[in-house]
Structure 1
Amino acid sequence: MTMARPRKIDALLAARDVLTDEGFRLFFPLAALHAAAWPLLWVVAFGFSLPLAHAIPPGLWHVHEMIIGTFGAALIGFITTAVPEWTDTERLRGRILLVLAGLWGTARLIGLLGFEALGVVGAVADLLWLGVLVLYIAKISLEKRTTRLKSFLFWVTCLLIAEAVTRYAFLDIEARMALATQATHLAGFIFIGILGIALARVTVPVTNLVLDPTEQTSPFRPHPGRVNLAPGLVAVLVIADAAGLSAPTTGYLLIAAGAAFMDRVAEAFIGRESARSEILALAGASAFAGLGLMLVGASRLGLPISELPGLHMALMGGLGLGVLAVFSIAGLRHTGQALVFVRRTRIAMLLLVAAMALRVGPEIWPTEVMPAPPYTLVALLWGAAFLLWLRVYWPFIRDQATFQHDGS
């Protein structure tokens, strides 16, 4: 008995060292667990309500927690992993990652129940980790005298502002309901912008690796006009929407931004390798983001459906599939594995697409068989997608033999 406790402590310390060695090891699993648990609890356990929410509508909490919660953890993991790789700088590890996780987790525990009495605590926690990301990107940019990170600095700063406005509106939701709704939707559009620049950075090396696994050549060269077109048009959309321009104006901008994402899909046509799941996942993220934005734009221009199916297609399908693709690619490359999605990874992505289709389809085209989305089944499929991904990648992520691998 005297030896059991030290061994357990040593095991926990060893696990901590591995998980805090690089951002993706800690935050990608946290994002996956949150993505799986929160919708299922909200739909099944709480019945579309929240135990401690009174003034703030549970639906608004849901949007906020999925965007800032699930996708927020994915953002922390992505930034703290990719920025050091792109700039050849020392990566954040150890205590600072635990602090970020603590801030993110504090806000998520409050959001889990809609605990409005501690809303200010949750707001401070979310604004702090977002502020740390902004300062981190700015610091590296200044130290390295590089402009490579300016787009991420812009978008993460925009997300910080949107979250600050959202939390301000939450303080007096009855008087600021419209502002809270607008700010949460803007946060979703901002994440679509981040998706655009992330795909531009990730697609090139992945496509080249698929075309030439030896990495001796770089046969794929993206069209220069496609690199920043989609996120650039999303930036125009965000500015116009924040300025309160008319629904038709923002509707046309939504369609333009969506079309730019659809244009990015053309990059997937690289010959027979186009059928590779590593390529299809990235192309599918662009396609769903583009279709969703265009559907929201069409709704604002008079199409007789609400904006919700378009928003879910863009966020669940586009951003969700993009996040799962980045999780999978980084999880392989940064643990020394070959860039090949195994069958269970492909199944996870199909589950996510199925969840999105079941959530969106009945609202676009209701039928007698399915007049409304089967919310429980949607939550189960969505959660299964992320849990299956975690089941496949957890052995790599926690393995001490891989935590010194630099991902190069």
Structure 2
Amino acid sequence: MTVPLHRVLADEGFRIFFPLAALHAALWPFLWVAVWSFNLPFAQAVPSGLWHAHEMIFGAWGAALIGFMTTAAPEWTNSARPRGRVLWGLAVLWGVGRLAGLLGASLLLPLSALADLAWISALVCFLARISWRYRTARVLSFMGWIVALGLAGAVARWAMLVGDTGLASTALRVAGLVFLGLLGLALARITVPVTNVVLDPTEMTTPFRPHPGRLNLGSGLVALALAGELAGLSPAVTGFLWIGAGAGFMDRMAEGFVGREFFRAEIMVLMAASGFAGAGLILLGAARLGAPWGEVAPLHLALIGGLGLGVLAVLAVAGRFHTGQGLGLHWRTKLAFLLAAAAALLRALPEMGWMPWPPGPLHLLPALCWAAAFAFWLVDYWPALSDAATLIRRAG
């Protein structure tokens, strides 16, 4: 019997939301740079740059977050996973949340804001229900970070509604940094099993066992730096705090040196995600301490390189495991990793004066590399994500 596509996609969260994340990540920056030239058609009261930041954080990364949490949390806790109408309902809420940002339409801001708050609240309630029903604390750290993300998003939307661009910019910067905290947690959960499978494909042993006190070091230090930021500490103090947070991610990167298996793409992309996030935060701290560059480029290095490669790693690794394929990445996915890394470097380094500006219109080349990265992933994974046979392999 043939299973309809909508039922295949609604079997697990990653089947719907990973493609949505890839499509949004590929199309939005390309439209922003190549079609609209940094000026959205209906953006008036709210600057186009704020729309761009909001849509990357709550659009592309938001879809990846929904797919990851609705897939991984049930697996970690051995609980029932959301399926069917629940997942399609979340997809509709996420899609409605994108309406205003697509063209910068301020009239749609209230509707889009309510939709975004609805799916974030639904995620929080989902994790709280799992924690209470199954008496587990395994998802509480994610729940706390998602609550912080929702609060930052609510402040940003309110500030956009009332025209307070300064507050909106601050709230969106906080939201992006909160996502780095979520990245640290996700990498801590993913790196250990992936590395163990790479080191021992039989899965009979667990040769990779990181020190438990360092498992969430990056996320903890991001939380500390954010607390200092929100408390209004001086630029010098917050600069040192962000350097410390970056060092926490670098510590995570160092754990990838596990012998010759280090050269496996699955290991290298996880290391690169931590490395970009760490380098961006260290350079952000250096800017606060007087380095000759602004804060925008380091933030892009962390949020494009760190989050971009981190999301691609999650899409690639979870996409294979949850379709019953195991590890072993196709060349298209490996090329996607390289293109995303190139996009981050081409976007940030020229602005810092570390390399010449690439030829062509401003930021067009990094936007094309970025779009191609997520397009290659989608082309590589869509056949498995949409194939009913992978449901049987996953169940087996």
Residue matched to 1:26: 16
Residue matched to 1:181: 169
- 1:147–1:317 Cα change, 3 Å: same
Separation (CA, whole Å) in 1 of partners of 2:373 and 2:181: 23
Separation (CA, whole Å) in 2 of partners of 1:386 and 1:367: 25
Residue matched to 1:54: 44
Residue matched to 2:279: 291
Given the alignment, which residue of 69, 80, 87 partners 2:77? Answer: 87
Separation (CA, whole Å) in 2 of partners of 1:138 and 1:224: 24
The one-letter amino acid of 2:187's match is L
Residue matched to 2:111: 121
1:24-44 deviations in Å (ceiling 9; x for gaps):
000000000000110111111
Q: Which moved more, 1:294-303 or 1:203-212?
A: 294-303
1:302 aligns with 2:290: yes
The one-letter amino acid of 1:300's match is R
1:324-356 deviations in Å (ceiling 9; x for gaps):
001000110000113011211111100111111
For 2:4, what is the secondary structure of its paired residue? helix
Given the alignment, which residue of 135, 144, 165 partners 1:145? Answer: 135
1:60-97 deviations in Å (ceiling 9; x for gaps):
11011001100000000000000000000110010011
**Cα RMSD for the two superposed structures:** 1.6
Residue matched to 2:268: 280
Equivalent residue runs for 1:8-407 within 5 Å = 14-173=4-163, 176-365=164-353, 370=358, 374-406=362-394
Q: CA deviation at 1:406?
A: 4.2
Contact 2:99 2:108 in 1 (8 A): no
Q: CA deviation at 1:369?
A: 5.9
Q: Normalising by the residue count of structure 2, what TM-score does the alignment of the two structures yield?
A: 0.97
- 1:239–1:78 Cα change, 3 Å: same
Contact 1:28 1:77 in 2 (8 A): yes
Separation (CA, whole Å) in 2 of partners of 1:160 and 1:407: 34
Separation (CA, whole Å) in 1 of partners of 2:184 and 2:170: 21
Separation (CA, whole Å) in 2 of partners of 1:130 and 1:23: 15
- 1:400–1:407 Cα change, 3 Å: closer
1:229-258 deviations in Å (ceiling 9; x for gaps):
110011111222222222212111100000
1:338-378 deviations in Å (ceiling 9; x for gaps):
30112111111001111111101111126666499841111
What 5-or-longer segments of structure 2 have no aligned partner?
A: none
For 2:389, what is the secondary structure of its paired residue? coil
1:79-130 deviations in Å (ceiling 9; x for gaps):
0000000000110010011111001101112210011011000100000000
The one-letter amino acid of 2:227's match is I
Contact 2:276 2:306 in 1 (8 A): yes
Contact 1:51 1:113 in 2 (8 A): yes
Separation (CA, whole Å) in 2 of partners of 1:323 and 1:368: 28
Q: Normalising by the residue count of structure 1, what TM-score does the alignment of the two structures yield?
A: 0.94
What 5-or-longer segments of structure 1 have no aligned partner?
A: 1-9
- 1:246–1:405 Cα change, 3 Å: farther
- 1:116–1:388 Cα change, 3 Å: same
- 1:371–1:384 Cα change, 3 Å: closer
Contact 1:361 1:373 in 2 (8 A): no
The one-letter amino acid of 1:269's match is F
Aligned length: 396
The one-letter amino acid of 2:121's match is G
Percent identity reads 56
Separation (CA, whole Å) in 2 of partners of 1:131 and 1:369: 42
1:116-172 deviations in Å (ceiling 9; x for gaps):
011000100000000000000011000011111111011001001111111111111
Separation (CA, whole Å) in 2 of partners of 1:405 and 1:103: 30
- 1:395–1:372 Cα change, 3 Å: closer
Q: CA deviation at 1:54?
A: 0.4
Contact 1:359 1:374 in 2 (8 A): no
Q: CA deviation at 1:398?
A: 0.3
